[in-house]
Amino acid sequence: MTAVTTDVAGADTRRAGRWVYVSAVGLLCAWVLVPLYFLLINTLSSPETVNSFPKPFIPEFDLGSLTFFANFAGMLTALKNSILVAGLTMIMSIVIGAPAGYALSRFDFRGKELFRLLILLTRAFPLPLLALPLAVMFIQTGLDDTVFGLALVHTTLAIPFAVLITFALFSGIPLELEEAAWTLGCTRLTAFSKVVLPLILPGITASAIFAFVISWNEVFAAAVLTIENRTLTAFLLQNLDTSPLHLKFAGGFILVMPALIFIFAVRKYLFAMWGIASR
């Protein structure tokens, strides 16, 4: 008898727990999505509606503000530049950063702490102050106003993420795994590529997303270091805060969209390798 009642009670608490769990997930999703939904409403509203009160909670699908941006001369070139810079940043920050993350997690070497501090310093100093000496250097070396030059600066911003994230992930992978591979006749390199690399691919993807998003959203260096080859943020969106409300929202929407699409496109890689370590 008692066994049965506890069982029922257990099922009840489990059901209740499940309910709490599901609603918490739903709530957190709403927490993220609702503000974006508001942005969408304002983007798809006529200028009058954007200024009205109370605000509607269903978009009226007025495409006026978006059309304005669609007709903006040079949009596509700027979009292409943005993607190029972000892509280059992504590749460079990982190719340069991941080996350092591996070194930090696997080796004790002199100057390790200093090196880590250098990496962190990079993020702790505001770029707008560094932009002036960088721009002078770029003008003198001919890197000025190139997609590659801007990608170099954005890579500097992304590298701390790449190094630290890969460091954290390598640290989570037992050294024994690698050592086992060595005893089975693998060289350090093959052990790395056959055993470790598949494990940290999600982490690499995470750093790639960071790099892409950092580059995509960076305005200041882009505005200073590119002229002909302006990125979308520098070309169109750095002046959003001085623009009329309806265009401000539409511009914000355009700024947000590509990053969302990018994260959506790579989410598979981010989490496909999920739990491989536990197998």
Partner 1 sequence: MTLHSRILGAASGAAIACTAFAAQAEVLFWSTQAKPVEEAQAMREQVLADAGDVDYQPNDGGPWLTRLQAELQAGSGTIGVLGALHGDFSAMNPDDLVDLDDLGVMSASGTFNDLAKLGTGSMQYIPWMQASYIMAASKEALQYLPEGADIDALTYDQLIQWAANAHEAAGEPKFGFPAGPKGLKHRFFQGYLYPSFTNGVVRTFASDEAVTAWEKMRELWAHTNPASTNFSFMQEQLLSGDAWIVFDHTSRLAQAFNERPDDFVAFPAPAGPTGRGFMPVLAGVAIPRTAPNMDAARALVEYMLKPETQIATLRATNFFPVVEVALPGDLPPSVKAAGDAVAKMSASADANPGLLPAGLGDKGGDFNRVFVDSFERIVLAGHDIRAVLDDQKGRLAAIMEETGAPCWAPDAPSDGACPVE
Partner 2 sequence: MNARLLPYVLILPVTLFLCLFFLYPFLLVSKQAFSTGAGFTLDNFREVTSYWKFPITMRNTLLLAAAVVPIQLALALLMATMVNRMKKGRDLVLYVWTIPLGISDLAAGIIWLAIFEQSGFLSSMMSGLGLVDKPVNLLTFQNPGIVFLAIMLAEIWRATAIMLVILVAGIGLIPKEYYEAAEVFGASHWKRFLRITLPLLRPSLQTALVLRVILAFEIFAVVAALSGTLFPVLMGETYAYQFDLLNSGAAAAMALIILAISIAFTLIILRVLRVPKGATI
Interface with partner 1 (CB under 8 A): 47-48, 51-53, 68-69, 72-73, 88, 91-92, 95, 128, 131-132, 135-136, 139-140, 142-149, 151, 219-220, 223-224, 227-230, 234, 236, 238-245, 247, 251
Selected from 97, 144, 225, 234, the binder of partner 2 by CB under 8 A is: 97
Tell me how far apart the alpha carbons of residues 15 and 25 are, in angstroms, rounded to a whole number: 15
Q: What is the 3-state secondary structure (H, E, C) of 203-264?
A: HHHHHHHHHHHHHHHCCHHHHHHCCCCCCHHHHHHCCHHHCCHHHHHHHHHHHHHHHHHHHH
Tell me how far apart the alpha carbons of residues 55 and 72 are, in angstroms, rounded to a whole number: 28
Footprint (CB under 8 A) of partner 2, residues 250-279: 252, 255-256, 259-260, 262-264, 267-268, 270-271, 273-278
Beta carbon nearer to partner 1, 68 or 182: 68
10 Å Cβ neighbour count for 169? 22
Q: Is 36 helix (H, G, I), strand (E, B) or coil?
A: helix
Compute the least distance from the CB of residue 255 to partner 1, in Å: 12
Compute the least distance from the CB of residue 47 to partner 2, in Å: 14
Beta carbon nearer to partner 2, 119 or 229: 119
Which range touches partner 2 (CB under 8 A), out of 5-13, 61-69, 74-82, 203-211?
A: 203-211
Compute the least distance from the CB of residue 130 to partner 1, in Å: 10
How many helical (H) and strand (E) elements, i.e. helices and strands, does the chain have? Answer: 13, 0
Count the site residues for partner 2 by CB under 8 A.
105
Interaction of residue 123 with partner 2, rule CB under 8 A: yes
Binding site partner of 66, from partner 2, partner 1, none, Cβ cut-off 5-8 A by kind: none
CB 228 within 8 A of CB 78: no
Beta carbon nearer to partner 1, 72 or 171: 72
Tell me how far apart the alpha carbons of residues 65 and 245 are, in angstroms, rounded to a whole number: 10
Selected from 6, 23, 52, 190, the binder of partner 2 by CB under 8 A is: 52
Beta carbon nearer to partner 1, 117 or 139: 139
CA angle 46, 48, 52 (to 5 degrees): 120
Tell me how far apart the alpha carbons of residues 189 and 173 are, in angstroms, rounded to a whole number: 16
Interaction of residue 181 with partner 2, rule CB under 8 A: no
Compute the least distance from the CB of residue 220 to partner 1, in Å: 6
Binding site partner of 260, from partner 1, partner 2, none, Cβ cut-off 5-8 A by kind: partner 2
Interaction of residue 155 with partner 2, rule CB under 8 A: yes
Closest CA to 102 of 114, 92, 112, 91: 112
Matching residue, tokens 């947000």? 256
